[in-house]
Amino acid sequence: MGFELSREGLDRVLTELGESYLLYAPVLKVGEGRFTDTDVVRYDYVSSVEQIELAHKSDYAFKELLTPLSETLFFFTENECKVADAEARKVIVFLRACDLHAVKRLDQMYLANGPQEDWFYRRVRDRVAFALIGCPESFDNCFCCSMDTNVAPEGWLFSLEQTDDGYRCVVADEQLTEVFAAQAVGEAAFEPAHVSANDTVVRVPESVPVAIYQHSMWDEYTARCIKCGRCTISCPTCTCYTMQDVFYTDNGCVGERRRVGASCMIDGYTNVAGGGQYRRTACERIRFKVLHKVHDFRKRFGYDMCVGCGRCDDICPEYISFAACVNKLADAVDALAAQEVSADE
Amino acid sequence: MTLDVNVKALMKNAFRQSKVRGETASRVRVPGGVINAQSMARVVEIAEEFGNGTIFLTNRQGMEIPGIPLEKVPEVNERLQAIIDDSGVNQEERGKGYPAAGTRNVVGCPGSRLCPFGCYDTTALARRMDKAVFPNNRHVKIAFTGCSNDCAHVALNDFGIIGMTEPQYDPARCIGCEQCVNWCKRRSVGALSVVNGKIVRDEDLCIGCGVCVNYCPTRAWTRSPEHYFRLKIMGRTGKQNPRLAEDWLKWVDEDSIIKIAQNTYAYIDEYIDPGAPGGKEHIGYIVDRTGFDEFVKWALDGVELGPKCERASRVYWGGKRYDRSNELF
């Protein structure tokens, strides 16, 4: 059922939800952008709808809740260790259709990639529910339609989008219907808004021949990419992490194990004992990242990892476009196939 | 034609005395180095109608239109009016051009309007300073630069203002990628180090350039809401004792800088060498005569430096003393 709400009415809904849930949503952080007097949109806890940034795509993804940038897993002393305490309250995460598709990818990696679930991921995942932010229009660099992620999958409690004079919410979770109905100024049957076309169109190759790994299409990126890792840190589906075992400086017998975000794009990734480094150049790193997003992951799990949110393209300081790279990849694959055909003839 | 021109008044009216007899050059003031395209076109028109069709871009971001016949000065002044209105430069009488030329054009690098490293809006602050100190006949040079790169060469000015930001660190957003540490070392002063996977900033070493913020991929480093500044003083070029400006204040606020510059005019009036050629003397020479403490007394009159501001109790300058020796060693 769809409800129309005023800002005050929606705030009363959020207040009521706040009794059972923390609310985690995209927030405009004024002055916290990279450059002087610029802003950034990233996730944080909110208590009113005014705090939720609905007009812009978030620069950083919701995943920081499920896979924190820095998380202490446990503390250790001589022979004992203690798991770090976790927030006990449930959380409603406000996200868009592409991001809800991304949750499936995160779950895949942390819960269904091998025999063991990730215990820490499971601990936070079980507390999380979702609210869908409708997308009446595509943002710059979005290519969800190309990745078939423009329509949200099931798994959201209610949706939210702004109208000229208030908000519209579709309530999927029957237990919440009453809460919304009590504050609504109108009721109507509608679906959450979703886009059906993007300016950016990406063509993902169906399969990738081994020859692509040595292809010259990657070479330019070694000079262009600065290996900062923003593309992967802002990506809602990137899951890589590394560990820091920290021994407190004033007592070397006590410390903690921390899990921190890692990036296949940043120097140091793929370093191994003995000084080996499997991917040295930026072009090797980009090749791995791109193929992982639109090929390798699909080979293992049957669907593409990339959800087409375009944050990587939004944030790249060197104007390297992932979308353009995938299209170059598709063209290169076609050209290789054509060469093979002509060689056969 | 007989010319009877008050050259002193002409120069005060921002016209240069030309070596070509009967000609002058109009000096267009461009605070912060930003002029809108319409006024740029007006400069072109004046150059084509009254000048010799060329425009000289000055070292201090102004423009000079040479080849103007002296008798055309009143007409040029009228034509300058729209440019003066656009640039917001203070004026005494409409249609009469610039009321002074002693206090030089206030210089600004592109700053945060354009440059990724700029720590503040240099153009806006240069214009604010120009409003605060112009018109004035005293020879004072002020320049604003966005960060410690000092692209505006503020160290050659009486007052050189360098932008600073106080980096704010959120360890919860830090993944320990160490890009801030590496870039601080490569592009700046190496004030960052890693301790147990997190970053420690040496607050004494940090110059507030914001390189760490620029290169942080996660927003663990952000800028302070407050804009801070480093104030370098009494730099100069010239024949006797050219020298670079030296640090006097750091982590100082915008309002204090404006007030200090304004206060300095009263100090100059009090102590300037009455025999100085053209009534112009670099402030630094006055400071050399009165002693630094006397300058500070005047400059800080009524100024309340913020709690973060650090002040050098005494400033020493270098530079060669050509008035004492011209030897090459």
Q: Which two tokens stand for residue A298?
A: 């699909």
Listing DSSP states for B3-45 in one string gives: ----HHHHHHTTEEEPSSTTEEEEEE--GGG---HHHHHHHHH
> For residue B141, which of B282, B320, B294, B276 has the smallest C-alpha distance?
B282
Nearest to A233 by CA among A320, A311, A142, A319: A311
**B100 vs B12: CA distance, rounded Å:** 5
Cα A252 to chain centroid, rounded:
37
CB B265 within 8 A of CB B138: yes
Helices in chain B by DSSP H: which ranges? 7-12, 37-49, 73-87, 122-133, 179-187, 211-215, 254-271, 283-290, 292-299
d(CA B236, CA B234): 6
Residues found in chain B = 329
Q: Which residue has the tokens 């990639």?
A: A113
Decide: B82 and B128 in contact? Cβ < 8 Å: no
Contact B173 A263 (CB under 8 A): no
Residue B219 and residue A59: Cα distance in Å, rounded? 11
Which one of B123, B178, B211, B219 would you mutate to disrupt binding with A, by most A Cβ within 10 Å of its Cβ?
Answer: B219
Best CA proximity match to A229, nearest among B274, B215, B159: B215
List all residues of chain A from 261 to 280 with a beta carbon under 8 Å from chain B: 261-263, 266, 268
- Residues above pLDDT 90, as percent of chain B: 98
**Does the beta-carbon distance from B196 to A248 stay under 8 Å?**
yes
- Which residue, A263, A260, A276, A275, is CA-closest to A235? A263
The domains of chain B are located at 7-87, 107-164+228-311, 168-222
Provide the total of helices (H) and of strands (E) in chain A, helices listed first: 12, 12
Residues of chain A neighbouring B196 (CB-CB closer than 8 A): 244, 246-249
Contact B172 A68 (CB under 8 A): yes
Residue B316's pLDDT is 95
Q: Tell me if chain B has a CB within 8 Å of the CB of A40.
A: yes
SS3 B270: helix
Angle formed by the axes of helices B122-133 and B254-271, nearest 10°: 30
pLDDT one-digit tens code per residue, A229-266 = 999 999 999 999 999 999 998 888 999 999 999 999 99
Note the pLDDT of residue B117.
97
Q: How many CB atoms lie within 10 A of CB B72?
A: 17
User: Å from A233 to nearest chain B CA?
Assistant: 7
User: Cβ of B210 under 8 Å from any chain A Cβ?
Assistant: yes
**Closest Cβ–Cβ partner in B112, B195, B217 for A230:** B217
Residue B68 tokens, joined: 């103007």
- B219 interfacial to chain A (CB closer than 8 Å): yes
How many angstroms away from the CA of A63 is the closest CA of chain B?
13
3-state secondary structure A211-278: HHHHCHHHCHHHHHCCCCCHHHHCCCCCCCEEEEEEECCCCCCCEEEEEEECCCCCCCCCECCCCCEC
State residue A343's pLDDT score. Answer: 82
CB–CB contact B197 A246 (8 Å): yes
Q: What is the CATH number of domain B7-87?
A: 3.30.70.3340
Note the CATH number of domain B168-222: 3.30.70.20
CB contact at 8 A, B212 and B180: yes
Mutate one of B117, B120, B170, B177 to test the A interface: name it (highest A CB count within 10 A): B177
Q: Which helix (H) or strand (E) holds A180?
A: helix A174-183
pLDDT recorded at residue A249: 87
Residue B1: its pLDDT value, please?
A: 67
Peptide bond into B116 cis (omega under 30): no
Partners of B220 on chain A (C-beta within 8 Å) are 69
Please give the single-letter amino acid code of residue B203: E
Query: Bridge partners of B192?
Result: B201
Q: How many CB pairs under 8 A join A and B?
A: 80
Residue type, A315: I
- A185 and chain B: CB distance < 8 Å anywhere? no
Q: What angle do CA A33, A34, A35 make, to 5 degrees?
A: 95
Query: For the segment A41-83, what is each residue's pLDDT rounded down to a tens digit?
Result: 999 999 999 999 999 999 999 999 999 999 999 999 989 999 9
Per-residue model confidence as pLDDT tens for chain B (329 residues): 688 999 999 999 999 999 999 999 999 999 999 999 999 999 999 999 999 999 999 999 999 999 999 999 999 999 999 999 999 999 999 999 999 999 999 999 999 999 999 999 999 999 999 999 999 999 999 999 999 999 999 999 999 999 999 999 999 999 999 999 999 999 999 999 999 999 999 999 999 999 999 999 999 999 999 999 999 999 999 999 999 999 999 999 999 999 999 999 999 999 999 999 988 899 999 999 999 999 999 999 999 999 999 999 999 999 999 999 999 97
Residue in B184, B134, B161 with CA at minimum distance from that of residue B252: B161
Nearest to B179 among A32, A228, A262 (CB): A228
Q: Chain A within 8 Å of B277 (Cβ-Cβ)?
A: no
The amino acid that residue B27 corresponds to is R
Phi, psi of A33 (to 5 degrees): -75, 180
Within an 8 Å CB–CB cutoff, is residue B225 touching chain A?
yes
Q: Three-class SS string for A10-27?
A: HHHHHHHHCCCEEEEEEE
Task: Please count the residues of chain A.
Answer: 345
Tell whether B213 lies on the interface with A, counting CB pairs under 8 A.
Answer: yes
Is residue A314 within 8 Å of A57, Cβ to Cβ? yes
Of residues B163, B214, B217, nearest to A229 (C-beta): B217
Residues near A142 by beta carbon (within 8 Å), at least 6 away in sequence: A57, A98, A195, A198, A200, A308, A309, A310
What is the percentage of chain B residues whose pLDDT exceeds 70? 100
B173 contacts in chain A (CB < 8 Å):
69-70
CATH topology of domain B107-164+228-311: Sulfite Reductase Hemoprotein; domain 1 (3.30.413)
Q: Of B122, B102, B118, B145, nearest to B265 (Cα)?
A: B102
- B281-292 core/surface letters (b: 16 or more CB in 10 A; e: else): bbbbbbbeeeeb
Residue of B nearest to A70 (CA): B172
Q: Residue A307 burial by CB count (10 A; 0-12/13-18/19+): exposed, middle or buried?
A: buried
- Residue of A35, A233, A249 with shortest CB distance to B196: A249
Low-confidence ranges of chain A (pLDDT < 70): none
Quote the pLDDT of residue B118: 98
Do the Cβ atoms of B219 and A68 come within 8 Å?
no
Bridge-partner residues for B232, per DSSP?
B160, B247
Chain A residues in contact with B112 (beta carbon < 8 A): 35-37
User: Are the C-beta atoms of residues B157 and B141 closer than 8 Å to each other?
Assistant: yes
Whether residues B165 and A36 touch (CB distance < 8 A) is answered with yes
Q: Does the CB of B120 have a partner CB in chain A at under 8 Å?
A: yes
